[in-house]
Amino acid sequence: MGYRRPADLENWVLNGQHHSCLQNRIISLSSGQGGEVTMSGKLWEPIRIGRMELKNRVVMPPMVTRYAADDGFVTERIRDYYGARARGGAGLIIVEATYVHRQGWAFPNQLGISDDKFVTGMSELVDVVHKRGAKIGIQIHHGGRQTKEALGGLQPVAPSPLPMAGGEMPREMTVEEIAETVAYFAEAAIRAQKAGFDGVELHAAHGYLIDQFLSPTSNKRDDEYGGDLHRRARFLLEVIAAVKEAVGDDYPVWCRMDGKEYGVEGITLEDARQTARLAEDAGLAAIHVSAWGPESPTNRTTPTFTPVVIEDLAEGIKKVVSIPVIAVGNR
């Protein structure tokens, strides 16, 4: 059965008849005695991310909906979803992980931005959100080893030939393929800019490709892209440089990164702090802190939206950078 647009879509979403992490987080942070949302406190003050000015500091993080068409195009359902959330008052809405190349296509019904053919639909999505008074960014993404050949028709690739638990064996990327993938991110950012997005977020968290380079558990290379932290961060820094060159210094670019990798001897908070400093020096406008790992507290299902460990990780990173830091109450 296909998507059926509710007759009163806005009230259907905002009155809680549709799952919305953002709605619950806003209410938990700013409810008045009667349960009404109060527009007071620092959360509601304007802030700038690069040259983008937000009316408040409420950010809807990228959360995968799988509402895209089978081939990655924007659908009416996804326009309705983001439009309704823009009406809720957030200063910035970040569209979910969107693949930059078919080889990085990570899950069914994922949005795509790997070709110019996606720009028109993306522009329509941008218009819906802008008409409701919010800024809109998009998270550009490559799944790396967290993909399946059946999705994009290509064998998964990764920094090293190490599969995820239960996943397909990835092929180790050559230096030439790394350069090609850097270019894919830059081309995707250009498309996002053409579509009218106010900025782009690089997905460098949650065990996807950029994060796979950053983590010592998934990156066992012995060349310029592996080894110590600076070499493991090289891929991220090259992506930042290429994207910045492609879209210009005035266009906001930021990244989502893990403040810690749980359950393995992977990324530590100190690693994340060093990487954040390198990313700021490379020209990022903000850092969006998350966390990931097979034993992460953020991966456990809970009945509430109580903020968990990521607040502390974000605070730890904010202490070493001067750019804005986005924190989330859950992954």
pLDDT at 7: 53
Two tokens, residue 287:
């850092």
Domain count across the chain: 1
The three-point CA angle 262-204-202 to 5° equals 155
pLDDT at 264: 80
- Residue 181: inside a domain: yes
What residues act catalytically? 208
What CATH number does residue 279 fall under?
3.20.20.70
Domain interval for residue 299: 9-326
pLDDT at 12: 37
- Residue 48: inside a domain: yes
pTM, rounded to two decimals: 0.87
- Residue 191: inside a domain: yes
pLDDT at 33: 40
Q: pLDDT digits over 221-264, tens only?
A: 999 999 999 999 999 999 999 999 999 999 999 999 999 998 78
Query: 157: how many CB neighbours lie within 10 A of its CB?
Result: 24
Task: Please enumerate in sequence order all residues whose Cβ is within 8 A of that of 260, keeping only pairs 6 or more positions apart, or say none.
Answer: 267, 268, 269, 272, 291, 293, 309, 313
* Cβ–Cβ under 8 Å, residues 306 and 28: yes
Q: pLDDT digits over 104-141, tens only?
A: 999 999 999 999 999 999 999 999 999 999 999 999 99
- Residue 174: inside a domain: yes
The helix-helix angle for 119-130 and 76-87 (nearest 10°) equals 30
Can you tell me the distance from the alpha carbon of 182 to that of 176, in angstroms, rounded to the nearest whole number? Answer: 10
Maximum Cα interatomic distance, the chain, rounded to a whole number of Å: 60
- Residue 173: inside a domain: yes
- Residue 1: inside a domain: no
For the chain of 331 residues, list the mean pLDDT of each consecutive stretch of 10.
56 36 32 44 94 97 97 98 96 98 97 99 99 98 96 96 94 99 99 99 98 97 98 99 98 98 90 99 98 62 50 94 90 55
- Residue 4: inside a domain: no
pLDDT at 175: 99
- Give the CB-side neighbour count of residue 277, counting CA atoms within 13 A: 10
pLDDT at 262: 86
- Residue 298: inside a domain: yes
